[in-house]
Amino acid sequence: MRCFLAISLPDPVLDRLEMLAARLPVGRVPPRENLHLTLVFLGDVAEMQARDLHLALSEITHPAVEISFAGLDLFGGAKPEILHAAVRPEPGIVHLHDKVQQAARRSGLELKRTRFRPHVTLARFNRAPSGEAADRLADFLQANALADIPGFLAESFSLYRSELGHGPARHSELACYELGIA
């Protein structure tokens, strides 16, 4: 099964992100229920690995994490692929990412080595916007790059299954892990 670890977002954050995404002139916007802050994408996880992972994640002790946003930005450089709400990479979120990643590796999962850039995906582009679409996206970013998105205290993270099919992926929570114990 295709899995990832993420922090769910409270309603005030979801409301604000949904409002911003509704004004987006281009791109595929995920449904509200798919908005989350990914800690680690795990890829395909076998059932036995999922059990080992659950045990390893259950042993993590970490304080709740203060999440704050740094506006909107693009991944993909000159050929943007994703519009996202950037999360400030404060020590708390980076440390939590490191701990869940270590737990996943101890469980036998092979993870890609990528730099952690905490964010919430707001839109995907099948191909980089060009011409008028690129101009509309640039105007949107200029007007909203410093969008005020409320911060929050993350008191848990979850293991999710992601099922691909027609339309947007369907995410279902498999387990939730409380934060607050250091």
**Candidates 36, 62, 84, 171; catalytic one:** 36
Integer Cα distance of 94 and 89 in angstroms? 6
CB 62 within 8 A of CB 181: yes
Active site residue 95: no
For the question of residue 97 being annotated catalytic, the response is no
Query: Active site residue: 62, 84, 97, 119, which one?
Result: 119
* Catalytic positions, written as ranges: 36, 119
